Amino acid sequence: MKIWLRMMAFTVLAALAMALVACGGGSSGGSSGGGQSSGPVTLEIGSKGEELAFDKTELRVAAGQTVTLRFKNNSAVQQHNWILVKGGDAEAAAIANAGLSAGPAANYLPADKSNILAESPLANGNETVEVTFTAPAAGTYIYICTVPGHYPLMQGKLIVTN
């Protein structure tokens, strides 16, 4: 009888442990976690005070994951946006250059959005904006701000894992 009880207790504990492991992956954004979780995730990022910089230069998500990115503009005076680029440095530079003449009404983005995977609205000083998108295929992607003059300094990498 005692042994039977002990085995029961062990079984319950094992089941609990497995349930905890199963739940552990989905909680919140940013953990590398090996990509086993693919539930929706919210990522938080901001600009770095009055600097032309993001306060995080690396973000991680899983391929196919629904991502809500909340971007807080921590500057009082600068406008910023958060643009996810399809391609490398050349594509990012082309988008930023075309955005120069596009103006704020166009979110400093070109009309041709073929190399833009996600774009936040333009955030005024101290404003928080967000964008929801589906994480692309595994790989490393560049995110930038296309407000004139910001692109060379305001960059980061989104790492998408399988």
Q: With binding defined as CB under 5 A, does residue 147 bind Cu ion? A: yes
DSSP letter at 85 equals: E
Compute the least distance from the CB of residue 87 to Cu ion, in Å: 20
CB atoms < 10 A from the CB of 157, how many?
A: 13
Compute the least distance from the CB of residue 141 to Cu ion, in Å: 18
Binding region for Cu ion (CB under 5 A) out of 21-29, 112-120, 130-138, 149-157: 149-157
Taking the least distance from each CB to Cu ion, the nearer of 63 and 94 is 94
Binding region for Cu ion (CB under 5 A) out of 59-67, 82-90, 102-110, 144-152: 144-152
**Residue 85 near residue 59, CB atoms below 8 Å:** no
CA 13 to CA 154: how far, in whole Å? 49
Structure tokens at 2: 């005692």
Question: From residue 47 to residue 86, what is the string marking binding to Cu ion with x (rule CB under 5 A)?
Answer: ---------------------------------x------
Which residue's beta carbon is nearest to the bound Cu ion?
Answer: 145
| 3-class DSSP assignment, residue 140 | strand
Residues 6+ apart with CB under 8 A from 128: 70, 71, 72, 73
Q: Given the rule CB under 5 A, which residues bind Cu ion? A: 80, 145, 147, 150, 154
